[in-house]
Chains A and B, each alone.
Chain A
């Protein structure tokens, strides 16, 4: 009888990349210099798409996918369009599976963006430094690559060693993307399992990318004292030639900084950036400046300050060339991800390219050599800056008022605004000379300047340009700072705080990440971070989120980065870096499992994720998530057991992971110490949760830091914050508090009387405290 397909699932079928010659097994390439012999390997080295499925099923049984279709239909093949409302499509797919399929697709796109970025960086850095360039993260970091160690089972010693991990990511991504094809997967739950795998690959791709750039470009290596960097539109010296870098890849920006240094031109030009490229260039060279997060993009381009605009990859306006041409700025594309139809000048003489650009013989250039980009961008900026200063780019304030008078109050600007902001009222107020409403939308990026209002306006009113002009009135105030991205947390810091985090004495680690699709501007996010910092949480941050936190000043004019240290400790505000530095967030949770709890990492994903889910009180906040990368990031950390709270816009991702507190059977845990399955608690209650308001998000974030492993002292602290915050935003002690009080000692002293009263009403009884809570080895495993 032929074996059933699942019977093939042995180690043989998982083995990759080995070659058999007569009697010999040749080791895999890329492993030279790695002594793996002494490392005990866990069960899932280089897990394939289905190898972690059983873990996913545990998560998905407790945190069921919650779907919100953005579209009733599927339009991916020529059987369609198929209307999936209450019906199956022509291929047999139903609405749930289609949502999950779309989520998988988004996670694949996001993961591919990060991993493609990592591939670009790695190839470039190997060419620059050589395959044998050592991965040395300094004295404070022994576990350089916690994700890689867990998934690949190896410690990379050189840049060349990173290739094996990236090859693995790329192989997995092909299988995952393939599953999105018509007539492949049909189960929503299995699509979810694959999305979780895509998220995990995203985590690994980012780790490879950041590790490569940290070691090869000598970026800060876990330095809590990384320098403060200038941030904000007001910090850019408009009298100098200005080069603006947009995107995520540090290489072209680094090429520019190197060229300026070689030519001793550092004082003569301004180099600034938007989005993560800005963060990474300032990690490389503190003389660069950060304009701000992605929401600044159109406003700043329209302002005409930049003479040369360098675009690399991800999150760049795809009409950047058209926008730049409006004010005679020169665009240089620098990666294969975004060529913009420009001629490839990579192999041409730099001076010839400069001449063609300056004389408008070409409308821009594609230059795939970062060093050449540095030379060309600098020379073009120097040559064109003076002439461009005479180009009038934004309307005068008088013209702004006149333009606003064109408004017919049709309301379509409001209706097409993805954020439903009252743009028409602001335009109408402007027409009467009152600029304050437009100013309010400009400040804190309440309007993140996507420009949809302009596209729709039947009078073709240049709303974003008008807002940019109005916002320029207080340019002098738009000067902030941010601590340069420090990279990962040092092992010594983990040793210091591992126990307080796991036992609950430090109430939680909150990660503010993601983009700037905020429902009401960035200030409320910064205030949320401030709230948790004041409460002794550890706050980590990356990317546009990190920039948003820097754009808020207290009454004394200080930014959060000036007020709080960069240490990974209670009350620490830790800017890890750019998007790819997000890898260090699950990374530090993994390190806690390894350093504090001595859990072996190699090939041991499930045990590590189980530890994090049950013991590490960490929670992500992506209040303005907009991209497919953000979907992949969140889904990846979810698989590690880290919950995430997202803003209302994230409901458009179509899927959340929500727990049901009324289904007690889903919260059972195995107390490994006692060897028995016991009733657990809804901690953490959700894995991916969308909130409508910042108040709701704040309370939920504090609740999602609860873990079954908390000691009573730790639980008291965490519940104290949960109750405090609930009282602040809801006015009461939360009525689900009884679910999180296991024994009387868990009750915060301040609220003891009130909580005891509530417990009595609920006929509460003490519960057994688990000593080693786990989802492993449960019945049915």
Chain B
């Protein structure tokens, strides 16, 4: 089996359905197709270079940002507008098809994750996989997340950096 698509923690494999392995090109197609995407930044996105990557990707695709845990503070210091939720709180809202999104404009149809704690993110993605059929999930972390709908593969930092740079381009 291709090591790049064995989940980073192999035991998170939950069942027959596995995430679609995506390149930046495919990920960008998902973004272009989405009507109301949302970027969710976890606590591993509190350090560089991930802060800059995340901000620039959000700017490029005009993504509203939710920060989880106490990630909010770093982005506030950078004068980047984000909305703080506990990760379980935002997931709880996202799984509700009647929730109108963080801007009150309607439900999100694509949720992009960066910087979640791997095992907890895996659990959260499982929640959305099972109970939020109305939206798609995409992870841009350097680890393959089998519970997402689409995920980058397992990568070393150098390759990941190239992937993230590509996400900032058309």
Contacts and interface: CB of A to CB of B under 8 A. Distances in A.
A86 B132 CA distance: 10
Contact of B124 (A96, A651, A693, A699): A651
Interface residues of A, number: 44
A732 B75 CA distance: 12
Contacts of A153: none
B127 to A, nearest CB: 5
B68 interface: yes
Contacts of A692: 42-43, 68-69, 86-87, 116-117, 120
A730 B73 contact: yes
Given A66-B92, A692-B117, A83 B70 contact: no
A369 to B, nearest CB: 41
A648 B131 contact: no
Interface stretch (B14-22, B28-36, B47-55): B14-22
B58 to A, nearest CB: 19
A420 B119 contact: yes
Contacts of B118: 420
Most buried by B among A68, A519, A658: A68
B152 interface: no
A730 B82 CA distance: 12
A72 B11 contact: no
B73 A731 contact: yes
A703 B12 CA distance: 32
Contacts of B17: 72, 83, 85
A696 B127 CA distance: 21
B43 A693 contact: yes
A416 interface: yes
A96 B92 CA distance: 14
B84 A72 contact: no
A656 interface: yes
B13 to A, nearest CB: 9
B49 to A, nearest CB: 18
Interface string A159-175: 00000000000000000
Contacts of B8: 415
B108 interface: no
Given A70-B123, A86-B133, A658-B89, A695 B70 contact: yes
Contact of A689 (B43, B70, B86): B86
Interface residues on B, range: 35 or more
Contacts of B72: 730-732
Contact of A696 (B15, B69, B133): B69
A86 B18 CA distance: 14
A691 interface: yes
B9 A658 contact: no
B160 to A, nearest CB: 14
B76 A696 contact: no
A620 interface: no
A648 B120 contact: yes
A70 B127 CA distance: 9
B130 interface: yes
A126 B43 CA distance: 53
Contacts of A415: 8-10
A699 B14 contact: no
B88 interface: yes
A736 to B, nearest CB: 10
A652 interface: yes
A692 B76 CA distance: 19
Given A83-B15, A519-B117, 9 more contacts: A64-B92, A72-B16, A84-B130, A416-B11, A651-B123, A692-B87, A692-B117, A692-B120, A729-B73
Interface of A: 64, 66-73, 83-86, 95-96, 415-420, 519, 648-649, 651-652, 654, 656, 658, 660, 662, 689-693, 695-696, 699-700, 729-732
15 contacts: A67-B131, A68-B123, A73-B15, A84-B130, A85-B15, A96-B131, A648-B119, A651-B88, A660-B93, A662-B99, A690-B88, A692-B69, A730-B70, A731-B72, A732-B72
- List the 3 shortest-distance A-B pairs measured between CB atoms, nearest first: A72-B15, A695-B70, A692-B69
